[in-house]
Amino acid sequence: MGTKEPVRMLEFAEEIGHPFCTPLVPQPDYKPHTQSDRPRYVEEAELEGPIFFWTLFTDGSGRTFKTLGIPLLDAFNSRFVDLMDRDDPMFQERGPQVSIRINWPGYAPWGRQIPTRDFRSPPLPVTRSKLARNVAKTVQRFILEMDGRAMDDNAQEAWRVGERHIQLGDLMLIGLQHVSMGSWQAHLRLMRPL
């Protein structure tokens, strides 16, 4: 039997807001492709709580406070000075990899696997900072693969990704939601108006 309803990341992020007051990327929850897989991988799976990426944000008046989200360009370039709990180990009880899922508006569901261990000997769980970097690289790959592809018929053009559209530098990672046994959905916020 499944666990209690987990914290809904998008609802939580919307509720607490962000100093930029920019939109969250609206994504439906990832679901396994076949109906027969849903009970085993979602309904009967022990889904964990979300992984958040809290950062310290300094406003124009010099006041510093905690906010939800790390710019993906910072994560991609290993700039973690503002990331809280950056050395915390992640996925300690997981296998060697997990799938990162993206259900970006206007595009087909997409996913890629990332490692849950570093390359030391013996391998240790990745840290929150290394996880953020791996997710940033995954989102960059998604954007590169979707660049130039046609969007769904009823898609809003404003959500197009790629060159001259939404790029890695326009996004921040707010967190990962455990959506099925081996899958975590990346939730993102724009860093500029849509």
DSSP 50-76: PEE-EEEEE-TTS-EEEEE-EEHHHHH
pLDDT of residue 186 exceeding 60, the answer is yes
64, β-bridge pairs: 58
Q: What is the pLDDT of residue 5?
A: 54
Top pLDDT among 175 and 35 is at: 175
CA torsion angle for 5, 34, 112, 98 (degrees, to 10)? Answer: 50
Residue 140's SS3 state is helix
Domain chopping of the chain, boundaries = 65-148+161-184
pLDDT of residue 161 exceeding 80, the answer is yes
Q: How high does pLDDT run on average in the chain?
A: 90
The rounded distance, in Å, linking the Cα atoms of 70 and 36 is 36
Element (H, E) at 136: helix 128-146
In order of 33, 101, 160, the CA distances from 109 in angstroms are 10, 7, 14
- Pick the closest to residue 185 from 99, 115, 93 (CA basis): 99
Q: What is the pLDDT of residue 42?
A: 60
143-147, 172-176, 181-185: which has the minimum mean pLDDT? 181-185
- What is the end-to-end Cα distance of the chain in Å, rounded? 40
Q: What is the pLDDT of residue 1?
A: 39
pLDDT of residue 9 exceeding 60, the answer is yes
Per-residue confidence band for 123, with pLDDT thresholds at 50, 70 and 90:
confident
Q: Which of the listed ranges 24-33, 71-80, 93-102 does the model predict with the highest average pLDDT?
A: 71-80
Check residue 69 and give left, alpha or beta (phi > 0: left; psi -120 to 50: alpha): left
Mean pLDDT of 106-135: 94
pLDDT of residue 105 exceeding 50, the answer is yes
- Pick the closest to residue 178 from 19, 16, 46 (CA basis): 46
* E strands, 90-138, in order: 97-102, 110-115
Per-residue confidence band for 95, with pLDDT thresholds at 50, 70 and 90:
confident
pLDDT of residue 41 exceeding 60, the answer is no
Give tens-digit pLDDT for 74-91.
Answer: 999 999 999 999 999 999
Q: Which pTM does this prediction carry?
A: 0.91
The rounded distance, in Å, linking the Cα atoms of 45 and 43 is 6
pLDDT of residue 101 exceeding 60, the answer is yes
